[in-house]
Amino acid sequence: MSAVHGFGSVIYGRVFVNLPIPSTTTDLSNHIMIVTGSNSGLGFESTRHLSRLGVGKIIMAVRTPSKGEAAKQEILKSTGKLDSSIEVWSIDMDNQESVKAFAGRASLLPRLDGVLANAGIMTSHYTLSEESEKTLNVNVINTFLLFFLLLPTMRRSEQQTGNACRFAIPNSALHYMAPLAELNDKNILHRLNDSKQADMSGRYPLSKLLVLYAVREIAKRAKGRFILNTPNPSWCKSDLARETDSAGAKIAEKILARSTEEGSRTLVHGLLTDETSHGHYLTNCKIQV
């Protein structure tokens, strides 16, 4: 039934929902926001929206700076904003030392108003990375490492500006289809990192379920001074699922998938929404209860 619900939510969102174009009455000219994985796909379109809305400083956090610079120029050309309004910083979400270095650099920012932790991977191939399966390492472990390393900066910013920093982690309706049997072990990480037992066909959905679990738990334990949520952009036309190249998948994508720009609206909503979203899964720009 969970799988049916997840698939149904995709169809409903595609057929019956017209997502609002991001807007705000708040002056964002002095705000600073970070978008990881922002040189392409949802991250790129989210950055373009934030630039259009007048965010004073956007940090495009990317693995390949040259690609980030090219994306920056394309965004600035379309929004007409100043070159100084966007900076490109290096980060590799599959490398803990890189995440630590990035967070250390971010700690020197005068304020931090929003983080869209968009960078993620989807693969059916098992790869061990930093002693963890790569999907788990990128989508869950290092994403929350980044969150906790930035948390002191987020809290300091709120104390100085009165504006609670938003930290949004993209989710997916696929989490309804996660293989829960992989969690039936006393040592969950050992089970997930075991190449002989890992269910890689369901690893991406499971990673998004773990993100949801962590977001809810953190919100229970650490309320106030920041807003943590996990918005679902739904199925979008992007290169995330580039390993899936069958004719059937292409036809389904053409019929059911949103454009990348449409999906990015939900992520920007997660960055701009109020404290009622704290600890919640968001879909179609609304809290899913």
**Distance between CA atoms of 29 and 250, rounded to whole angstroms?**
41
> What type of residue is 29?
S
**Distance between CA atoms of 246 and 248, rounded to whole angstroms?**
5
Place of tokens 């004073």: 56
* Among 72, 81, 208, 281, the one annotated catalytic: 208
Residues forming a β-bridge with 58: 33, 86
* Among 204, 250, 254, 286, the one annotated catalytic: 204
Buried b (16+ CB within 10 A) or exposed e, 20-36: eebeeeeebeebbbbbb
Place of tokens 């969150």: 147
Indicate the burial class of 78 (C-beta count within 10 angstroms; 0-12, 13-18, 19 or more): exposed
**Distance between CA atoms of 259 and 67, rounded to whole angstroms?**
21
**Distance between CA atoms of 54 and 183, rounded to whole angstroms?**
43
Residues in the chain: 289
On whether the CB atoms of residues 260 and 45 are closer than 8 A, the answer is yes
Q: Following DSSP, what letter does each residue of 91-104 receive, concatenated?
A: --TT-HHHHHHHHH
Place of tokens 């075991």: 194
Would you call 186 a catalytic residue per the annotation?
A: no
On whether the CB atoms of residues 119 and 138 are closer than 8 A, the answer is yes
Would you call 12 a catalytic residue per the annotation?
A: no
Catalytic center residues? 204, 208
